[in-house]
């Protein structure tokens, strides 16, 4: 579904590149984790996929179309985005905020149809925020705001979900809720790309992992193939122990 070919990017014409010659294919209907330490280029890559940034060199295609040729409305229908620490939107309450996900589907009148209202209620129920739907977003905890952002993306019902650190600020129970939700979306044929700096989050959920280091692809493949002592040690610059738990690799940092 998504193909990056020879993508380079630097901010404000700087000589040092944030991403350097990134070429990778991300499968449709799968969960792909962009894994790497802080500053490795994960969020920049996500913003390029969103069309918010343009590559200095190279090309990005989604479903055979170059990202830059997609209209804003097309992108909004195709891609749902969740960012960490999304700001409270003025004085919107939670239901109004989640309803923003339906904007790409509204007609000229701007009036919601019953399907739009149902999508919002279903999304709120899925993330367990129905009881707080009337509260201003700004009054939610950081973790609850993260869940509200996930609900907004769910209401949008895109084919592709791009999530930047989706479990940041979440406690263990809410982390489990989000990961289970993403697993259900995969079972419905949705494509999910998420960034994380935590190898264990990637291992639990991802079908494939792309490991970035200093703006370059260090390795890509299944968790079993790329989550090794050697590769992760090179990515993070520390010694690690990788152990199998229920058939999936998990990482312990050595003191």
Residue range 186-238, pLDDT digits in tens: 999 999 999 998 899 999 999 999 999 999 999 999 999 999 999 999 999 98
Give residue 60's pLDDT band: very low, low, confident or very high (50, 70, 90).
Answer: very high
Mean pLDDT of 128-155: 91
146 pLDDT higher than 70: yes
* Domains defined along the chain, listed by start: 2-253 (3.40.50.300)
**Using an 8 Å Cβ cutoff, are 253 and 240 in contact?**
yes
Nearest 5°: phi and psi at 247? Answer: 85, 0
Average pLDDT over residues 111-125: 91
Query: How much is the average pLDDT of 75-103?
Result: 85
The reported pLDDT for the residue numbered 43 is 93
Question: Residue 14: helix, strand or coil by DSSP?
Answer: coil
Contacts of 188 (CB under 8 A, 6+ apart): none
CA triple 69-192-154, angle to 5 deg: 90
**pTM value?**
0.90
Q: By the 8 A CB rule, do 209 and 227 touch?
A: yes
Could you count the other beta carbons within 10 Å of the beta carbon of residue 67?
22
Cα separation, 90 vs 207, whole angstroms: 38
Q: In angstroms, rounded to a whole number, what is the distance separating the alpha carbons of residues 192 and 206?
A: 9
Residue 109 has pLDDT above 70, yes or no: no
At 44 the pLDDT is: 95
Q: What's the pLDDT score for residue 87?
A: 65
Q: Which of 239, 234, 241, 238 is nearest to 200 (CA)?
A: 241
Report the percent of the chain where pLDDT is more than 90: 62
**Could you tell me the CA-to-CA distances from 195 to 92, 111, 205 in Å, in that order?**
27, 35, 12
Q: What is the pLDDT of residue 13?
A: 67
């Amino acid at each position: 579904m998504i193909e990056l070919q020879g993508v380079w990017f630097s901010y404000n014409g700087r000589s040092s590149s944030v991403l350097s010659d990134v070429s990778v294919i991300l499968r449709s209907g799968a969960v792909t984790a962009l894994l790497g330490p802080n500053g490795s280029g994960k969020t920049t890559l996500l913003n390029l996929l969103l069309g918010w940034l343009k590559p200095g060199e190279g090309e990005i295609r989604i479903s055979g179309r170059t990202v830059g040729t997609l209209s804003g409305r097309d992108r909004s229908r195709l891609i749902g985005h969740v960012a960490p620490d999304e700001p409270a939107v003025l004085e919107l309450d939670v239901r109004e905020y989640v309803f923003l996900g339906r904007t790409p589907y509204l007609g000229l009148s701007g009036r919601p149809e019953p399907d739009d209202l149902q999508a919002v209620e279903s999304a709120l129920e899925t993330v367990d925020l129905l009881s707080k739907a009337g509260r201003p977003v700004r009054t939610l905890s950081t973790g609850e705001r993260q869940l509200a952002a996930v609900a907004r993306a769910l209401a949008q019902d895109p084919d592709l979900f791009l999530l930047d650190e989706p479990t940041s600020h979440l406690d263990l129970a809410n982390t489990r809720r989000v990961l289970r939700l993403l697993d259900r979306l995969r079972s419905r044929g949705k494509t999910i790309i998420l960034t994380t700096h935590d190898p264990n989050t990637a291992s639990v959920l991802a079908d494939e992992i792309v490991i970035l280091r200093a703006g370059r692809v260090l390795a890509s493949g299944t968790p079993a193939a790329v989550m090794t002592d050697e590769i992760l040690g090179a990515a993070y610059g520390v010694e690690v122990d990788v152990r199998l738990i229920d058939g999936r690799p998990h990482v312990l940092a050595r003191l």
